[in-house]
Amino acid sequence: MNQLPFWPLPAESDLLRLLEDDVGFGDLTTRALGIGHMPGRISFSARAPMRLCGVEEAAGMLALLGAEIGFSAASGMDAEGGELILSVTGPASVLHAGWKMAQLVMEFASGVASEAADIVAAARAVAPNIAVMVTRKSVPFARTLSLKAALAGGAEIHRLGLHDSVLIFPEHMAFFEDGLAGAVMAARRVAPERAVMVEVTDEAGALAASMAGADVIQLEKFTPEAAAALARTLPKRSDGRPFIGAAGGVTAKNAAAYAAAGVDTLVTSSPFMAKPRDIKVVLEKA
């Protein structure tokens, strides 16, 4: 279990935008049936074991609509099949307005969190101290929730975005004419407090990055066997650098193999593409 008491609560404006996507100009069906004023209750429960995330957002949306929260689990908790996640009471108009978006947010975020937890568990069963980190390749417009879910799954964040870290890709070198060593030096002059990471696609590139003084060498789409061979032979400086990260195609199925290869970090986008977890909803008259 990896609860997230430190993660900031969702902004009210963000929750309102989510609700507007679904509610729009109101709930025509509930209005047409004339049932909006009737008291009701709604409960959300896990259909199968999962790592939870998005519960705070779901509860926040329902509370904004006027519902009263009875019970709310926390992101980062593990739920068994049939276990209650969230329960609220309120008028039928409120419950119907918030029901689907609350369910959607929790199902999506819990899918990301559960996949991240599976990768972390598989990797650390082999290498207990290995770092598992997620990339910035989250679903468009869903980065904040996606990163929260990755943390709920026990992973860490590789990059928040282009602004917060230095990662030199081969695509950068297509424009930079002073060689990789020059690129590393240029990055250090501008951002001396940041580690300089270099992505490579083959062994020769990894050796060149090491010689250039890279702090982190990111192996893009290396097989576990190729990563293991490089980890055994790549010379390291007295400070233990360069650290080696395996990236590109890391999933729960191969995380153990990459961890056994002896790399320092696993860098993955796989959690962001995880299948949403199924959450059961019961909405009834109070």
Measured between alpha carbons, how far is 91 from 41 in angstroms, rounded to an integer? 8
Whether residue 133 sits in one domain with residue 68:
no
Residue 281 domain-assigned (yes or no): yes
Which sign, positive or negative, has the C-alpha torsion 40, 59, 98, 84? Answer: negative
Predicted TM-score (pTM) of the model is: 0.92
Q: Are 147 and 178 in contact (CB under 8 A)?
A: no
Residue 148: CATH number of its domain? 3.20.20.70
Residue 7 domain-assigned (yes or no): no
Whether residue 73 sits in one domain with residue 100:
yes
Whether residue 280 sits in one domain with residue 253:
no
Counted domains in the chain: 2
Residue 197 domain-assigned (yes or no): yes
Whether residue 58 sits in one domain with residue 163:
no
The string of DSSP codes covering 131-142 is EEEE-S-PPTT-
Task: Give the domain extent around 208.
Answer: 121-273
pLDDT of residue 25: 87
Q: Average model confidence (pLDDT) for the chain?
A: 94
Whether residue 229 sits in one domain with residue 200:
yes
Residue 63 domain-assigned (yes or no): yes
| Nearest residue to 219 via CA among 241, 195, 200 | 200
| Nearest residue to 191 via CA among 169, 218, 215, 209 | 215
pLDDT of residue 1: 41
| Nearest residue to 158 via CA among 108, 119, 114 | 119
pLDDT of residue 6: 63
Measured between alpha carbons, how far is 63 from 50 in angstroms, rounded to an integer? 24
Residue 260 in tokens: 């056994």
Strand partners, 217: 198, 244
Residue 3 domain-assigned (yes or no): no
Please list the rounded mean pLDDT of every run of 10 residues in the chain (286 residues): 64 89 90 95 98 96 96 96 98 96 97 97 97 93 92 94 94 95 96 96 96 97 97 93 96 98 97 97 96
Whether residue 229 sits in one domain with residue 161:
yes
Whether residue 148 sits in one domain with residue 103:
no
pLDDT of residue 5: 55
Residue 211 in tokens: 């010689």
Whether residue 126 sits in one domain with residue 96:
no
Whether residue 127 sits in one domain with residue 108:
no
pLDDT of residue 236: 92
Q: Are 4 and 76 in contact (CB under 8 A)?
A: yes
Measured between alpha carbons, how far is 34 from 266 in angstroms, rounded to an integer? 54
What are the tens digits of pLDDT across the range 175-184? 999 999 999 9
Whether residue 128 sits in one domain with residue 212:
yes
Q: Compute the residue count for the chain.
A: 286
